Structures are given as structure tokens and as C-alpha cells.
Structure 1
Amino acid sequence: MPFAEINGQRVHYEDSGGEGLALVFSHGILMDHEMFAAQQELAGEYRVIIWDARGHGLTESDGKPFSYWDAARDCLGLLDHLGVDQAALVGVAQGGFTAMRAALLAPDRIVALALVSTLTGDESPRAQTFYGQLFGRWIAEGPIDELTTVFAALTINEPEQSARWVAKWRERDPELVAEPATCLLERDDISERLRQIRCPAVVLYGTADPLFGAEDAEELSEALRYCVGVVPIEGGSHASPLTHPEQVNAALSYFLSEI
């Protein structure tokens, strides 16, 4: 099981290897590398790299506060560790926040962005309050049914996958949620900087996603100077690479072949 010492963290990753374009997948909050199991099918054409962000999965974090800029530097550090000069990044929700910042930090290294369920700027005040309460209770009370059922319905909304991820959440120390939640809720707004991103981009959204819809996707697309458009994933959830991988994989393949 491969790990890399990066920026004081012991980062877990998986790398298919190969000579194709490196395609790096970054997961959403409370998820991990396993949400991209079906994207391994792209390894015949691309070098597929998946990793666990700080506070998630098998990555061993130092427990200190961090930002998505730190996560972006972790992602770039992983490329350094693997000897990858240039890569395309695929980010889901918070993974998209990381990917956009990596593109701003290293414009010559990031050749394409695929952003899934990723907001342009801050959460709304209502969302801030909702997530603050949910994560606060999660840390204090643990992943009780009331909380895991709500979060799974909002992000996955597919019975078999939801049950599997709820089981995973119940096995993890709830205190590990604290720093990722703080990072999410206190992130800086980079919406005014998005036009500085120089690489081609595409925005994907699930049509059944209660958290991120067509208007959000169009807003992000318009903010990105070189975005080629918006791709709806029919029936897709917030975590559409997990629940609707065939559509997502096809959209990624088409986007990357076109650019």
C-alpha cells in the first residue's frame, strides 16, 4: 500500500502507472480514494492516480489546521513524488476546491480541470449553518444514524452505496472530521481569481444532486475563462463518479480527447 511523505503528512495514494496523461482524482469531504474505484477503468488510456486528502481515508495527517491551498500543495507534492511533470485534475466538491487552487499555484503543470459538484465561491449562509451543525454534532455525538442518513441522502442517494459508506463512516474516529470541516467552512473565496486559470476545464453536475444544480454549474463554467462547457450527468448524485461512473467516465474521456 503506497504512501508518500509530503508536507509533513503521510499521504496514501494509488497509481496505475503507464505512459498516458496523468489523471489525478481528488475526493469530496468524508469520502476517500474508494469513491473512484470505477474510474480505474480509465487506466488503459490514462495514468490514473487517486489519493486521500488530509483527514480522510488512509492518509496520516499531523492533525493541524489546513486549507485547500495546503491540500493543493499536497497534490502537487504527490506529482513531484511520482515524477509527473504535467497532469489533468478531476475534483469532486472539496476535491474541486483543491484542484482549482493547484491550477492557480502551478499553471504550467496542470493541463486540464474536470470539476464535479464544485461551487464557485463560498457556501450560502444557510448552508454554512447547516453544515456547521451537522459536522459539530458528528464530532460530538459520533456518526449516529440521524447524521449519516442525512449526509448519505444528500451526497450519494443510492441505497447500496449509501449503506457501504455509512458503514465506513461508523468505523472512523469522529474527531477526524474536525479539521476537514473547518477547512470546508472557513475556506477563502477564490471566485475572483478563477479567470486566471489558463487550462481547459469542464464542469459536471448530477441532475439529481440536491446540493449543486444546473445554475451552479453554469456559474462556475462562466467564471472559468477556458471552460468548454457543462455536462449534466442524468440521475447523478453529488458523488456522481461513484453512483453514475459510466456517464462520468465517458464525459471525461470525451473532454480529454477534445483538448
Structure 2
Amino acid sequence: MPYAQVNGQRLYYEDTGGTGPAIAFSHGLLMDASMFAPQVQALRQQGWRCIAWDERAHGQTATGSCAPFSYYDSANDLVALLALLGIERAVLAGMSQGGYLSLRAALRHPQVVRALVLIDTQALPEEEHKMAGHQMIVQEWLQQGLSDERAAVIEHIILGQGWEGAAHWRAQWQRMQPGDLLAAFTTLATRDDISGDIHRITAPALVIHGADDQAIDIERARAMAASLPAARMVVVPGAGHAPNLTHPQPVNAALLEFLQQLPA
């Protein structure tokens, strides 16, 4: 299994290799690199070098006792990983939390970012009432473990109702260690508001959002797209918070069209 030692972290990553243009996929909260399997499969066939990685406190990067971190730290992790792999510029594709770190990478390391693909994400902090609900679930999870009832709530928020692949992710959540869970949610809850800064990001951007996303209101995505100087937006009908996983066909179509139109 490939691991990279960067920024004092041992990061798990997957790299399809090759000499084609690079795209780096950053997953959402409680997810891991495998959530981008439909995109990696489609793009590698088109000659793209696809890198997907597990962020701090998640997947095979998780240690069980993650130290406090910010999304700027995660952005630095990604940039350092790309440098280690010899990649000077890449398209950064991030879903939700992955979008938070990708936007911050674009602000702090613009020379690395060829373009952005922002899937069901935002530049704003969490809405207070939604964060309160998240905190209630997390506190119960930390104290009593993840019940089937709470797992069903998380499934509905991230994956929508009745998606056929949900059992795999419920099992993943059951295995998450308290130290990683606490660190991940603390980072989510304490992140800064960058909505007033993203106008400085000049890289082309594709904003993709599920029409039925319950985690992030679609109007927040529209506002983000309007603030980015070179952004276009695609809405995925019937999709929730993770359309790249649950509705890969329209997401892949939009992604391929966007990438084909990028300047060299």
C-alpha cells in the first residue's frame, strides 16, 4: 500500500500513474479515497493521472488519535503529496470537506492549482442549526458508539435514501475511532469563513451540486460559484450530498466536458 511521509503525516494515497495531466481527489467528512472510484475509472481511460488520498483522521491515514488540525493543514498535506509525486500543477477535485481544503489550497498555493472541481461544498462555515445537529450526533457517537438509528441519519444526509452501496459506508463509520472522529468534527466546526476571499481564485472552477443536498443548501453553492471569477455550475437532479458516488454518470459527463475545455 502506498504511503507518503509529508508534513509529519503518514498519508495513504492511490496513484494511477502515467504521464498525463494530473487530477487530485479529496474526499468528504467520514468518507475516504474510494468514494471517487467512479471518477478515477472514467478519467484514467482518458489518459488522466488520478491521485486519490485519505485525509487526516480518515480511511487508511487514520491513526486512532488524530492531533488537532485545520483545513489549511490538509491543503498543505495535499500540496506536499503532489510535490512528492513530482506533480507541479494539478486539477483539485474535492467533495464537501475535500472542497474546503481544495479552496484553501487554491488561496495558499495558487501556482499548484490548474483548476478546481467543487462537489457539494461551500466557502461559508456550517449553518448554526445544522452544526448543532451534527454535534448532538457526534457526542452520542463518542459516548455510546454509533447506533443503527444514527448511522441511518448519517446515511440519509450523505448518501440519500436507499442507495444500494450504503452498507459499506455504514460499516466504515462503525469502525471509526473516537480520537479521529473528534478531531475531524472539531476541524469542521471551527473552520474559518473564506467567502470574502475566494474572489482571488482565478483558476477555472466547476461547481457540482446535488439538487436534493440536505447537508449544504444549494444556494450556498450558487453564491460560491458567483464569487469565483471563472466558475460554472452544474446541478445534479435527484442527487444528495455525494452525487459523484450515487449519481456518477451525470457527474462524470460534466467533469469530462469541463476538463476537455481546460487550457493547456
TM-score surpassing 0.5?
yes
Aligned partner of 1:151 in structure 2 is 154
Is the contact between residue 20 and residue 47 of structure 1 (CA under 8 Å) also seen in structure 2? yes
* 3-state SS in 1 of match to 2:110: coil
- 1:176 and 1:106 mapped to 2: Cα distance? 27
Instruction: Give 1:182 shift.
Output: 0.2
- Please tell me the root mean square deviation across aligned C-alpha atoms, in Å: 1.3
Shift >4 Å, 4+ stretches:
none
Aligned partner of 1:87 in structure 2 is 90
Aligned partner of 1:104 in structure 2 is 107
Is residue 5 from structure 1 mapped to residue 9 from structure 2 by the alignment?
no
Aligned partner of 1:49 in structure 2 is 51
Is the contact between residue 113 and residue 199 of structure 1 (CA under 8 Å) also seen in structure 2? yes
Q: Which runs of 5+ in 1 are unaligned?
A: none
State the AA in 2 paired with 1:119. Q
Aligned partner of 1:238 in structure 2 is 241
Aligned partner of 1:257 in structure 2 is 260
Deviations 1:194-238 (A, max 9, x none): 0111201111011122223432221110111121x2101122120
Moved more, 140-149 or 50-59: 140-149
Aligned partner of 1:69 in structure 2 is 72
Q: Which of 224, 227, 232 matches 1:223?
A: 227
Is residue 179 from structure 1 mapped to residue 183 from structure 2 by the alignment?
yes
* 3-state SS in 1 of match to 2:126: coil
Is the contact between residue 62 and residue 180 of structure 2 (CA under 8 Å) also seen in structure 1? no
Q: Which runs of 5+ in 2 are unaligned?
A: none
Instruction: Give 1:166 shift.
Output: 0.4
- 1:122 and 1:172 mapped to 2: Cα distance? 24
Q: Provide the aligned length of Structure 1 versus Structure 2.
A: 258
- 1:247 and 1:205 mapped to 2: Cα distance? 11
- 1:162 and 1:31 mapped to 2: Cα distance? 12
Is the contact between residue 9 and residue 60 of structure 1 (CA under 8 Å) also seen in structure 2? no
Alignment of 1:111-122 (within 5 A): 111-122=114-125
* 3-state SS in 1 of match to 2:91: strand
Is residue 59 from structure 1 mapped to residue 51 from structure 2 by the alignment?
no
Aligned in 2, Cα 1:214/1:172: closer, same or farther, shift over 3 Å? closer
Instruction: Give 1:60 shift.
Output: 4.1
Q: Which of 189, 192, 198 matches 2:196?
A: 192
Is residue 167 from structure 1 mapped to residue 171 from structure 2 by the alignment?
yes
State the AA in 2 paired with 1:8. G
- 2:166 and 2:213 mapped to 1: Cα distance? 14
Aligned partner of 1:37 in structure 2 is 37
